Structure 1
Amino acid sequence: MAEQECVTSPRILSMDVDPENEVESEYRIEAGGNVKYITVEPGALHTDHLSLPLSHLPTLPYNDVSWTRAHVWRDAQSGELQSRLSDRRLAGVENVWHHKSFDVLTLQRTKQLSTAAFETSIPGPQSPSSSEKVEVIAKIASFEWEIPRIERETRVYQILHERQAEDLTPRFLGHIHEHGRPMGFLLEKMQGRTHASIEDLQDCESTLKRFHALGLIHGDVNRFNFLVDRDVGGSVRLIDFENSEEVAAEEDVEQRQSAELHSLRAEFVEESGRGGGFRPASSER
């Protein structure tokens, strides 16, 4: 008897859903080691089905490696769902500077930290072939429109590496790829550190000044983007460079950096939780 082809049920890896069903919703789906990106036009699915779409989408050949994207809509005349497949190459991070790279499909999520970041583990550096694991932080662009954010962060870590200022941040451990397409990175997990408070203002100001001296602006200096180790004399690490800029050549760089520095106190006493909250999106397994 001929050996049957192994067909793996699809599972949602990421979704960007419009709860009002007024703009497109996007899904990143994996089946049998293949990752597909599906865009659903507004109104194509019932609003109640957007967060659990797999049983409501048209039948798609998820195990077929010849396509990467699908566009789904509902025909205005027949009312039937329609789909169009494409093999368009997806955009990825262009600045690949680190010598290590990790396959995103091998990274098991142990804790979701934000819509883009999660905890995972990789083999320990001393014995990569053993069962010893090290906890790390992964940050990825689930969809193409998020790539510029990861590109900016990747560039900041490269600058810190080149200027020998890596002690300002968690260590950059390597790029993350999906089928060879760079789309994220791994960072050291800073054990025992807490988010900054007003008592850490002076140490955080010193860290931000060092960051500015490299010709950079952070762009989002809320207290959750400063990690403090109070057992090491208030040692501070900066994170989250999605909005960072290289500004060394700009005429108003000192003014902009000064404004960011002076905004720290107000940010540290701000109590809305901006920058620190996360509510996981529902997923269909």
Structure 2
Amino acid sequence: MSESFEIVDAFMRYPQEPYLYRILTESSVFKYLVSPSAPPGACFPDIRGEFLAFTSVSRGDWTIGRLGPTGDGRLSLSSTENTCLTDVCTPWHASRIDLLDLPSRLSGVDTLDELQCHGQLTARVVTTPSRYGQCPTAICFWIWQPHFRYGLYADSKMYAAIEGHGIAPKFLAHITENRTRVIGHMLERLKVRLATIHDMGKCQAVLARLHGLGITHGGLSRHSFLIDDERRCAYLHGFVNSYHTTDNGVLQAEFNSLGRILPRKPDPLTVGQEKL
């Protein structure tokens, strides 16, 4: 038996590299269609499915569909296999929420205006499901492409190390695909603004807590700090370059850099966010 599907994403890097489709089947299962290389004439990811010679796929317990060329230059489904796909992030938190169970995007909220979304490829602001925390809204980050997993992988790893120390927004849950593969996480959404030189004390305090765990942020900038005026404190985020170290010289140099970092002008792409 077969079922219909919709293409929810597609990926192409170079013509000679795998050409990918991410589909959602009629039975609400994410699956992947993979061609060894791009079909002739393909210059972009095929989000419309114009290169696919079929509109339905077989039902069954499979995750990867192998594509092969047809005589007219399109792609046919030649075989399927049930391959266990690699987690984007290493699971460590007890709570999980599936991607299809996430609440709808919060109306009137643009993630480009959210400081917590700075540097993230995919984000969604949602109303927090009651069983995941007391905060009214949350921010969800996820990515399915293995090529781009490093950022979320590193972030999640550091959230595990700093859990419970008041250093970053609360980690609420892992986000899963098909209720198994971990592809992202959901964080507490804070009402915050960019740091200024007047927030030096707050920034020093949170950075000192991070350093107390033997962790250097590694990519410190004004955008690394989230100033919460209601709670009268600062938080850190964006841990993609963070790492454990026993080198006190590295930690001290980062701490001393605050005097240079905080007076700098904000990134032009975040102008206006200081008022949030």
TM-score band w.r.t. shorter chain: 0.7 to 0.9
Residue 239 of structure 2: aligned partner: 241
Q: Which amino acid aligns with 1:35?
A: F
Percent sequence identity over matched residues? 21
Q: CA deviation at 1:49?
A: 5.0
Asked if the contact 2:124/2:140 (under 8 Å) is kept, the reply is yes
Residues in 2 aligned to 1:25 and 1:196: alpha-carbon distance in whole angstroms: 42
Would the aligned equivalents of 1:117 and 1:139 in 2 still touch at CA under 8 Å? yes
1:120 to 126, 143, 156: 126
Name the stretch that deviates more: 55-64 or 134-143: 55-64
Partners of 2:201 and 2:121 lie apart in 1 by 31
Question: Aligned in 2, Cα 1:225/1:25: closer, same or farther, shift over 3 Å?
Answer: farther
Quickly say closer, same or farther: Cα 1:215–1:86, change in 2 above 3 A: same
CA change 1:123–1:48 in 2 (3 A) is same
Partner SS state of residue 195, structure 1: coil
Q: State whether residues 140 and 150 of structure 1, in contact with CA within 8 Å, keep that contact through their aligned partners in structure 2.
A: yes
Shift of 1:21: 5.0
* SS at 2:250 equivalent: helix
Aligned to 1:92, the other structure's residue is in SS state coil
Change (3 A) 1:22 1:96: closer
Note the residue ranges of structure 2 that are not aligned, 5 or more in a row. 112-116, 272-276
* Corresponding residue SS for 1:174: strand
CA contact (8 A) 1:36 1:62 kept: no
1:143 matched to 2:124? The reply is no
Alignment of 1:194-273 (within 5 A): 194-233=193-232, 235-248=233-246, 253-268=247-262, 269=264, 271-273=266-268
Conservation of the 8 A alpha-carbon contact between 2:194 and 2:227: yes
Kept in 1, the 8 Å contact 2:5–2:23? The answer is no
Shift of residue 83 of structure 1?
4.8
Q: Which amino acid aligns with 2:25?
A: A
Question: SS of 2:137's equivalent?
Answer: strand
| Matched pairs, number | 256
Report what 1:89 is aligned to: 84
| TM-score (structure 2 length as normaliser) | 0.74
User: Which of 12, 25, 30 is 2:24 aligned to?
Assistant: 30
Residue identity opposite 1:194 in structure 2: R
Task: Compute the displacement of 1:236 (Å).
Answer: 0.7
Q: Unmatched 5+ residue regions in structure 1?
A: 278-285
